[in-house]
Amino acid sequence: QGATANEDKLQPKVPETIELLGRAGVNVWMLTGDKKETAVNIGYATRMLNDGMDQIFLTKDDTDGPDALLAKLEHWAEECNIAPAAMRTRELALVIDEKSIDAVMAANPHALLTVARNCKAVICCRARPDQKAAMVRMIREGVPGVKTLAIGDGA
């Protein structure tokens, strides 16, 4: 009987680099298969997330079913559309999981794009490779002139 543990470590200067990218106006997305708690911890460790951000959680654990999920997403999309200048002064972060990605991509992908465009950081957790590719495609096709870099199984 025994146990094995494997701890991932960040490369040197990763948090500082991501923080500098953010200050330069680059929005960073993390599309990962990790569970929500792990992904959020990585978000903090890499400085993608900070305590001053308004964090929008669209996950099965944080909403009461598909109707509540879509209502929450549409609320934030409306906030972004009504007061776009005010939203630019706020630091927003979006955390969305596999089931929620499927639900919003089927029901209202435009609202997801609206919210995601206004976020300094987006974390997709428990995401499958096809979902990662769909998220990248959504930005590439939905935001004229945007530059994206995708590495890994969703690229």
Q: In terms of pLDDT, which residue wins out, 124 or 84? A: 124
Digit-coded pLDDT (tens) for 22-64: 889 888 899 999 999 999 999 999 999 999 999 999 998 888 8
Tell whether pTM > 0.85. Answer: yes
User: φ and ψ at 20, to 5 degrees?
Assistant: -65, -40
User: φ and ψ at 105, to 5 degrees?
Assistant: -65, -30
What pLDDT is stored for residue 43 in this prediction? 94
Q: Are residues 103 and 64 in contact, defined by beta-carbon separation less than 8 angstroms?
A: no
What pLDDT is stored for residue 25 in this prediction? 84
Neighbours of 85 (CB within 10 A): 6
Digit-coded pLDDT (tens) for 65-94: 889 999 999 999 999 888 777 667 788 999
Confidence of residue 2 (pLDDT cuts 50, 70, 90): low
